[in-house]
Chains A and B, each alone.
Chain A
Amino acid sequence: MMMNEALLNVKDLNVSYQNLHVLFDVAIEIKEGEVVVVVGRNGAGKTTLFRTIAGFLRQDSGAITFRGQDIGHLPAYDVAVRGLKYIQQDKHVFADLSVKENLELGSYATKDYDWDRVLVHFPKLKTLMDRKGGNLSGGERQMLLMAQSLLGQPDLVLMDEPTEGLAPHVIDDLKGVFKKISEQTTLVIIEQNLPLTAEVADRVYAMKEGKIVAEIRDKQEIEDLAFEKYL
């Protein structure tokens, strides 16, 4: 693959929930090493877009290519195995399993047992290995989900509202983590926290009523929250 070729390419994507048309001709392009943030109000179709890319929903029409390969009709597990991971919005870790077992599940699926490479970003998890997932705080769960998804060295991670419901100091910590992780993998994040978006994003897509209504590439415009007018 050429360096300037898109890592992920979504073209003319249309998605419906039975008779309810949710995404209309959505097109996005993600290049390797970028941090792209998708913003939009509730119901704009952001999560539907992510779930379709991740293989959990089927598109009515359009194309999704990842590293030049069509992944639009692959099941979710196959998409994950190919290096495109999705972290759901609900911060759902396996509550009855320990942190260690949660990580083992991430390792077993990807055959990547290099935990040191991952846990260097989340040192706190090292002290919580025997704690059940259900007893973790919101921030700790998010860290565990991110650590789990980084096993297997994915090329692209989709994160659905990773800071939702977290305390400000935890969000500050995660901000640093996003920057470090983005040195290893490409990140596409759905985020409602606009100041955070301004800090971490290289590019921003704004969504409204199932459509991409703007793409902001200029860093200065992103820092000035120019995308706010599209929401």
Chain B
Amino acid sequence: MNHFARYVRGPLILIALLVAARYMFPNKMTFLFEVSTFGIYIIANDILYGYMGMVSFGQPFYLGIGAYAAAIYLAHIGHNIFIAISLAILAGLVTGLILGPVYIRLRGDYYALINAATCAMGLFMVEKVMLPITRGDDGLWYRARMHATPFLNLKMPGDVFWFTMIVLLIVMIFYTWLDRSTLGAAFRGMKASESKMKFLGYDTFKLRWLGYTMMCVLAALAGSLYAINYGFVNPSITEPARAAEVLVATLLGGPGSVYGPFFGTLAFLGIKDFVSNIMTRWELAVGILTIIVCFYFEGGVWGTIQTIGSKIRGRFGKKGDAAASEAAQPPKS
């Protein structure tokens, strides 16, 4: 198969499903937008958690960085939505480059907790310290200041959906490439044994920093999409209590797998959407499902789909010697 097609095929199918769902369930557009944006947010978290084994209890901070960078620009400085998104990405990049060398020195529970502390500080900053700029709990409202954009008018939620589809497609193609690349293997290698990676010749500090910065950029991008879709941002986006959401969704989908974030997001938001119609505390259903996944479906939704798929494939034949010989070729350097 064409080299590029290997990375594009899966993401295209998933995007096509979302687009089909938009027409089949026209009143669910907000839900589908949430799936797309939250999906990018989960991909960001999965790079750290799924691939590198670094659990963070402070992911809303990184989402908030992007959301507030875009919102502050649109509310106080300019009107161009593309500049707002670019600034959010830049803010994520700068956060990764500055905080990365400090935070990634920590491991395990210390890393998780320093992120929780950062998230709490971030909430305090936007709620109190930066009150004149962020308007505290009242939040920033700027839809009227947003200028229409050519081709896709990002002032309109319908067009934001299409724009988000394009962004999600690009992010998923990148993520598929990452999963199958040696860089992805190196991330997973570090999760398994950092010392072994060092003995192979890898500067694991730089690798972790790269992964952390990727996470910051993608989370900030997701935050900016929230900001332009709703035309409003308030401190609840950075609440530390929401850190569990991203971890649960990653776990539900299957950490460290290429389509796990998509299915995790779908499962998490799907349950939230469905159960909240029946009972107020939808978190109970998510909690029970998470416990079941932890005990019986270690690979999450995507892992289970893969297991079933490989059982079906196993029933209909095995690879021959020719395939094995082909597999023994190194990748093109």
Contact = CB atoms under 8 A, between A and B. Distances in A.
Partners in one complex: yes
Interface of A: 54-56, 75-78, 80-81, 85-88, 92, 94-97, 100-101, 103-111, 113-115, 119, 125-127, 129-130, 148-149, 152
Name the residue among A78, A81, A109, A119 with the largest chain B CB count within 10 angstroms. Answer: A109
Contacts of B321: 127
A106 B256 CA distance: 21
B199 A104 contact: no
Interface in B310-333: 319, 321, 324-325, 327-333
Contact of B331 (A87, A94, A104): A104
> Helix, strand, loop or mixed for chain B's interface?
helix
A86 B196 CA distance: 9
B330 A103 contact: yes
Interface in B141-193: 182, 185-186, 188-189, 192-193
B204 interface: yes
A106 B331 CA distance: 12
B26 interface: no
B319 A130 contact: yes
Interface residues of B, number: 29
A101 B185 contact: yes
Q: Give the top 3 A-B pairs by smallest Cβ distance, nearest first.
A: A129-B327, A109-B201, A80-B201
22 contacts: A54-B199, A56-B195, A56-B198, A80-B198, A80-B199, A88-B199, A94-B196, A104-B182, A104-B330, A105-B186, A105-B200, A106-B200, A107-B330, A107-B331, A107-B333, A108-B182, A109-B200, A113-B333, A114-B330, A115-B329, A129-B324, A149-B200
Nearest to A134: B192
A74 to B, nearest CB: 11
Contacts of A56: 195, 198-199
A104 B185 contact: yes
Contacts of B329: 115
Nearest to A56: B195
B137 interface: no
A52 to B, nearest CB: 13
Interface in B103-148: none
Contact of B199 (A86, A94, A100, A111): A86
Contacts of A119: 328
A96 B188 CA distance: 8
Given A105-B182, A113-B333, A126-B324, 6 more contacts: A94-B188, A97-B185, A100-B327, A113-B332, A114-B330, A129-B324
B202 interface: yes
Nearest to A123: B328
B319 A108 contact: no
B201 A81 contact: yes
Contacts of A94: 185, 188-189, 192-193, 196
A25 to B, nearest CB: 26
